[in-house]
Structure 1
Amino acid sequence: MYRPPPGPPPGWTAQQQDEINDNPPPYHNWQEQVPDTSTLPPPPAISRFASETGNASGDDADRAKEFCNERPLWRPVRPSEAVYTSTLNGDIRPGQPIEYRGTLDTPSRGHWRIRSDKNCRDCSIISLLPLYYAMRDSPMVTERPKTIYFEVTINKYHRRPFGGDASGFSIGFVAQPYPSWRSPGWDRASIGVFSDDGCRFVNDNLGGKEFTSAFRTEETVGLGMRFNPPGITSTNAPSQRLVLDATVFFTRNGVEAGSWDLHEELDSEAEGVYGLEGKFDLYAAVGIFGGVDVEVKFDPAKWMARY
């Protein structure tokens, strides 16, 4: 079995390594301790802060900016074989933020049931384990492409009381740490596609970009990222040779319905794709605003699409 070399992923500069001194604890090998994890209750809340202001307020945005400025991205950690195999099999559990209002169940392996309250404010439910491990999955290490993907089935949207914004969710990926009171796509090292208007966001706390139509009840949507080794030619500058080819793709009912190049030219308001290019671990994230009833699926056998 191929084992990647020790140390940071190839292509990291000394400055990048110096910027990531803080780090999470190693991924706990709980699969070996409790083989039948599908019977466990949802994990406890792990977020650091509670949101006391309104949805997507300026205070929330400012607090998120401060959060990201004070906390560098976690550097990658190599998972154990048991944890890595479990991830490949779709055994992914949710971390429940303290801002979340509603129920969050795991009825089976890699299957979340989210039923949020109609008064639930913006928050993100983020996977406890990454879907992409930079030290195991990077094409810089393996010389092979890597795809990550998951799906969300929409059962119901609940109307918010007294009018106001529509209820909905976003499907995305984030590098950690990420402010739990913000939807994926709004802040550093995050991507999100939103159900209410179909817009896509990449580290953009303004209006996003038009991408697809609003998500409908009883529809299944999916989001994925493909990482490929960089295309090296004689005309590439040395720095360009260390950038992975990365594509974000979106599916509706099992059919690919749109994609974009991660490194395409971004709006002037967006703040770049640092943390998303394959040098950091990436986690699945479902942003919640208002009342929704959705099911999140990580088990490849339960996907409508096949990857």
Structure 2
Amino acid sequence: MQHLLDKLFHKGKATQSHHSDLSPPQWTPAVETTHEHGKYQDATFDEYEEAERFCARYRVEKPKLLLSNVVERLSQEGCKPWGIKYPASSRFEGRIESMMDKGGAGVIKIFTDKICKDVCLFSDLPIMAGLYDTKGKQGVYYEVVIRKMGGIIAIGSTCLPYPEWRFPGWNRLSVGLHLDDFRKFFEDPEGGREYESHGLLNKISSGDSIGFGYEFASRSVFFTYNGARLPTAFSGVYVPREKYDVYAAIGVEGQNEFEVNFGTDVFRWKEGNDWAWRVEGHVGNFAGSGSGREELPSYEEAL
């Protein structure tokens, strides 16, 4: 009986070999306890296997230059062009609203319905771009404010393409902090690792904020909770940085309401408001150009 339960509900370890281009970067495992199963619920084994087939079929996209009109918008509008793409999957039940269109601060509001199944939402622009410079930058950061969590929300990052029916952190080149059990994941299709937050992160209430940060010097991922920086979650991920375009990734399931802030509103983590951490200070600044304000050729023009 236990074997049957494991087959039905265990996310399972990867069993397929991938092309060498897709081999995961070396990362530093933390000392926290690892888990074979999720604390509250797991994805089905069929979904795990389909995700493995997806990753074997589609190679990770190579980093590319932004379109010239996007670079011009970044120069004129800062972080305002960042948004969340509406998913193509019928699993998503809800809506995505830009408050900028309504005269607000420019955050993106996301509402999901009770019948919404596991789905991953992606930013429409990378938060880390391999072909762009990091001179004078400490890292990149974005923040999510939870208004209601009746289901599950997971905050993280990924390279594309990524199976959109999988939460961030479950598959290749993806990191996630899952807010139902507060476990952290990096390419981990099982139960994740305990995230040592010194007792700060033990429940989610309306108005709480969770932030995602990547530090260039240490090549490490960290999270924040209500403005407090938590310990490093993973080190040595997305290495070498120049090889990857990395996007914000947010997993949702069930009834939730939250806001995504790429810098159009004030971050609760105060350091994130410094230029050294803002996404527009890195993305669009071509390596070797010495300036983040130059208009660049589009990817198609550069070929």
Q: What interval of TM-score do these two structures reach, taking the shorter chain for normalisation? A: 0.5 to 0.7
- In the alignment, which residue of structure 1 is the partner of 2:72? 82
Aligned identity (percent) is 29
Q: Does 1:259 align with 2:259?
A: no
Letter in 2 for 1:82: E
Shift, 1:93, TM fit: 1.5
TM-score by length of 1: 0.66
Contact 1:92 / 1:110 at 8 angstroms: preserved in 2?
Answer: no
Correspondence for 1:286 among 247, 250, 253: 250
- In the alignment, which residue of structure 1 is the partner of 2:208? 219
- In the alignment, which residue of structure 1 is the partner of 2:147? 155
For structure 1, the 5+ residue unaligned runs are: 1-16, 21-53, 159-166, 229-244, 264-272
- In the alignment, which residue of structure 2 is the partner of 1:94? 84
Contact 1:223 / 1:248 at 8 angstroms: preserved in 2?
Answer: yes
For structure 2, the 5+ residue unaligned runs are: 1-18, 23-40, 273-303
- In the alignment, which residue of structure 2 is the partner of 1:122? 118
CA–CA distance in structure 2, aligned partners of residues 216 and 113 of structure 1: 17
CA–CA distance in structure 2, aligned partners of residues 88 and 111 of structure 1: 13
Letter in 2 for 1:286: I
For the structure 1 residues 256 and 214, does the alpha-carbon distance in structure 2 shift closer, same or farther, using more than 3 Å as the test? same
For the structure 1 residues 86 and 126, does the alpha-carbon distance in structure 2 shift closer, same or farther, using more than 3 Å as the test? farther
Contact 1:126 / 1:283 at 8 angstroms: preserved in 2?
Answer: yes
Q: Deviations over 1:59-78 (max 9, x none)?
A: 11111111011111100102
Alignment of 1:1-307 (within 5 A): 19=21, 56-79=43-66, 80=68, 81-82=71-72, 84-85=74-75, 88-97=78-87, 98=89, 99-108=91-100, 110-137=106-133, 139=134, 142=135, 144-158=136-150, 167-211=151-195, 212=197, 213-228=202-217, 245-263=218-236, 273=237, 277=241, 279-299=243-263, 301-306=265-270, 307=272
Contact 2:130 / 2:245 at 8 angstroms: preserved in 1?
Answer: yes
- In the alignment, which residue of structure 1 is the partner of 2:6? none
- In the alignment, which residue of structure 2 is the partner of 1:26? none
Letter in 2 for 1:112: I
Indicate the RMSD between aligned Cα atoms, in angstroms.
2.5
CA–CA distance in structure 2, aligned partners of residues 304 and 216 of structure 1: 16
Shift, 1:247, TM fit: 1.3
For the structure 1 residues 274 and 153, does the alpha-carbon distance in structure 2 shift closer, same or farther, using more than 3 Å as the test? closer
- Count residues with an aligned counterpart: 221
Contact 1:91 / 1:298 at 8 angstroms: preserved in 2?
Answer: no
Contact 2:106 / 2:264 at 8 angstroms: preserved in 1?
Answer: no
- In the alignment, which residue of structure 2 is the partner of 1:9? none
2:99 aligned counterpart, secondary structure: strand
Shift, 1:275, TM fit: 6.7
Q: Which has the higher contact order (CA 8 A, sep 6+)?
A: 2
CA–CA distance in structure 1, aligned partners of residues 79 and 254 of structure 2: 31
Moved over 3 A (4+): 17-20, 83-88, 273-278
